[in-house]
Homo-oligomer: A and B are copies of this chain.
């Protein structure tokens, strides 16, 4: 079986997540891929830092040259952040024939032309799913799934810190300063929050999405960027009165009249009933409109150790496939090399909350009789509502929301309840899903 060696530059939050997946989930990856992806070397600034996840000491080095240009390492992950030495190392890796995966949005927004040019010259891949919107696979979707589309617009909530602040200001009527302070305390905002709250981080991501959507590379100076520092609770309250929610929205839209691109980032009022308006906390989201696909909406964790590592690993896996000896197709139809042996849980064993609607005759003791039957079968009640007479169903409506119960017990108790004289119509059962 082939083994693909991977070198990792940087072992901060995201780097630790990537190392953790490669070391702890190696079996899962092999099951799906049919070959091994091996963390061969990790370059760190300080060998003795404390970290979220520590790979074996023999994998660590302080010398990037143990990775860059090493012929047995065809794939380099750059997670150092910052412009230098990241830029120099990425260019050197491409020159040496290594594929590169990065999560560095500033690097790509500022030195993207040079890096992509070098990748084209050397025939190597530069993949950067994790640079925009964390775990949300928006790069792949724009670059591959929607290739046949003329993209008309891309809207996004691309910065989790500001979205968290705006959510607190909206839901809890906090001021910007208070919400920022709280976000800093919880580690959602940095000590110097400028890059986030003034919109630069989101603007870098917007430039990357724009490049993918329309094949252009505008510069930061070309676009209007406005952060959230001036927003007042009164703005948010007034927006709500008009049926709007305020988000820091990235806009990249083709204006069909002028044939020009609208690219801008500023606090924006969105219709409160839109999916985008419902994206709260540190979540990110992107809405893409194409001439064929219509509206596609994606949301998920925009940052964080494991979500970002998930995106990095998706790129590593994709790049590793190009490194395999020619086998076509590269990915099995179901994405797994072999079928797995999970069993399906019998429906009877399902455990969830249930909504029950009984139609009963209107006389004392009915609720007690029904709840007695349920109780005997270990069904406990979360909420009960008794309604007036329902003409159509010929009785009084009694609605019960249960706590989690086993479906078998529930169905048995309903059959038993059906025997009671007090039911005048079949009982309605709807299952309740609280994991969404």
Interface residues of A (CB under 8 A from B): 17, 21, 25, 28-29, 31-33, 99, 115-116, 119-120, 123-129, 135-137, 140-150, 153, 155, 211-212, 214-218, 222-224, 230, 232, 234-235, 238-239, 241-242, 244, 246, 249, 251, 253-255, 258-264, 266-271, 273-279, 287, 289-301, 304, 306-307, 309-311, 313-314, 316-319, 322, 326-336, 338-345, 347, 349-351, 355, 357, 383, 385, 390, 397, 399, 401, 428, 430-436
Contacts and interface: CB of A to CB of B under 8 A. Distances in A.
Contacts of A322: 328-330
B341 A216 contact: yes
Contacts of A328: 123-125, 322
A297 B32 CA distance: 23
A140 B140 contact: yes
A75 to B, nearest CB: 12
Contacts of A145: 129, 137, 140, 311, 314
Nearest to A426: B230
Given A143-B334, A317-B147, A342-B261, A292 B278 contact: no
Contacts of A222: 344
B310 A428 contact: no
Nearest to A99: B329
Contacts of A330: 322
Given A116-B333, A261-B343, A313 B436 contact: no
B296 A136 contact: yes
A342 B310 contact: no
A144 B345 contact: no
A179 to B, nearest CB: 17
A296 B308 CA distance: 12
12 contacts: A28-B148, A116-B332, A140-B140, A142-B335, A238-B385, A258-B349, A263-B345, A270-B436, A275-B279, A287-B436, A296-B299, A297-B300
